[in-house]
Amino acid sequence: MSNQIPVVTVDGPSGVGKGTLCESLAKHLQWHLLDSGAIYRVLALSAINQHIPLDNETALAKHALTLPLEFKTTENGVIVLLNRIDVSSNIRSQEIGEAASKVAPLAKVREALLKRQRDFRTAPGLVADGRDMGTVVFEDAPVKIFLDASAQARAERRMKQLQQKGICAKFGEILQEITQRDERDRNRTIAPLRPAADAFVIDSTDLSIEEVFDQALGVIKSKINL
């Protein structure tokens, strides 16, 4: 039965490093990977392309049920396909991130995408990256991690990422965007961003990627017989 398949959930705010951690854990464990944020980003991108208003909950939920979304594993990692077109880079823009954070709190949209996310739970195991993986989607997960960091640290990381890509970035604007998104995510009525009661919290503000990975893997090994 699917509920006997182990799941490691990693929740946390935007820009905290969930994606990097989850990819490393999935690769190390040789488990499947679910990037739930990508699902909402693809929905937002598709809605914009289809001229569906981001506040039209009914239309968005209907569109979510038939969203032509695929995840494909390659030598370079997991790529995201929309209508069989690689949109992995497109959905990582600040614009789409902001759009996704407006779509995600809508109850009908979350309900439409819930089963789709749970279907990723297949043997030998799943690492699930998101904001409500441990509190809603996989409440029975044996390992729940909440990855956090200060808004300032996340803004600095985001600015460095953009600068490395040759994109001009202003720290103040990035910090404001992160703060506003945190406010929306943590205070939304449906599935607010918060640690599950049984989650292990890792504050990555002053930790390296390697230190975060080691802590997370230690938690997993203490909960699951690998």
- The dihedral region occupied by 141, where left means phi > 0, alpha psi between -120 and 50, and beta the remainder, is beta
* 130 labelled binding-site residue: no
Question: For residue 69, what are the β-bridge partners?
Answer: 82
Tokens (6 digits) for 182: 């945190």
* 16 labelled binding-site residue: yes
* 13 labelled binding-site residue: yes
Residue with tokens 């985001």: 158
* 17 labelled binding-site residue: yes
End-to-end CA distance of the chain: 19
* 20 labelled binding-site residue: yes
* 105 labelled binding-site residue: no
CB atoms within 10 A of CB 77: 13
| 3-class secondary-structure state, position 170 | coil
* 172 labelled binding-site residue: no
Q: Which residues contact 65 (CB under 8 A, 6 or more apart)?
A: 112
**Alpha-carbon span 210 to 179, nearest angstrom:** 26
Q: Which residues are annotated as a binding site?
A: 12-20
Q: Which residues are annotated as a binding site for ATP?
A: 12-20
